[in-house]
Chains A and B, each alone.
Chain A
Amino acid sequence: AQRVTQPEKLLSVFKGAPVELKCNYSYSGSPELFWYVQYSRQRLQLLLRHISRESIKGFTADLNKGETSFHLKKPFAQEEDSAMYYCALSGPGGSYIPTFGRGTSLIVHP
């Protein structure tokens, strides 16, 4: 069975501090990993996906197959990064049905 674990319910940092939101997964095979973000009063939207290897709003995430992790990182947090972040996984083993983690609430203080 595929599973996504986000160990932190809440992450609280000050503006300018580095941020790392953790995501670990369980999956047999090669999964596709995603980070979704939900800002206050906005719909859930894709932040980035591992196959794109891109940086969005200063965030990056590297797929580590050895550690089965896909942690989201940003070197200098901004107040506008405050949001709910969800890690998600899909793959052929699960008929490409996306599975989400429980989410991490990021609060960036001024």
Chain B
Amino acid sequence: DGGITQSPKYLFRKEGQNVTLSCEQNLNHDAMYWYRQDPGQGLRLIYYSQIVNDFQKGDIAEGYSVSREKKESFPLTVTSAQKNPTAFYLCASTGLAGRELFFGEGSRLTVL
């Protein structure tokens, strides 16, 4: 069953702790993206990667880090430097530039 898998679905963390959100795809897509979804603010781009071993900052990269060591995987780390980490995080991928995005189910992070 092809698609994008994000884990965990729900995550609770204490302030000051780093957390890593997983994103795996078996669609053989080159490009992968991380978005943050907040009510009333839509989807804001955190980081993206268009090829293995390369990634670029999006509009709101501060306090986040990523890696792209494998084509299938694009994990996102929310660091303690992120001032307001509680949010819903969406991972997406696309096979061709400018074409349809395929999304994961999302990960909801709550920082207590």
Chain A residues in contact with chain B, CB under 8 A?
Answer: 6, 9, 32, 34, 36, 43-46, 49, 86, 88, 90-92, 95-103
Contacts and interface: CB of A to CB of B under 8 A. Distances in A.
B106 A36 contact: no
Contacts of B101: 34, 36, 44, 46, 88, 98
Of A32, A34, A45, A102, most B-chain CB atoms within 10 Å:
A102
Interface stretch (B19-27, B37-45, B67-75, B77-85): B37-45
B104 A86 contact: no
Interface residues of B, number: 22
Contacts of A49: 100
B33 interface: yes
Of A34, A44, A86, most B-chain CB atoms within 10 Å:
A44
A10 to B, nearest CB: 10
B10 to A, nearest CB: 13
Contacts of B103: 43-45
Contacts of B106: 43
B64 interface: no
B97 A96 contact: yes
B42 A43 contact: no
Contact of B98 (A9, A46, A91): A91
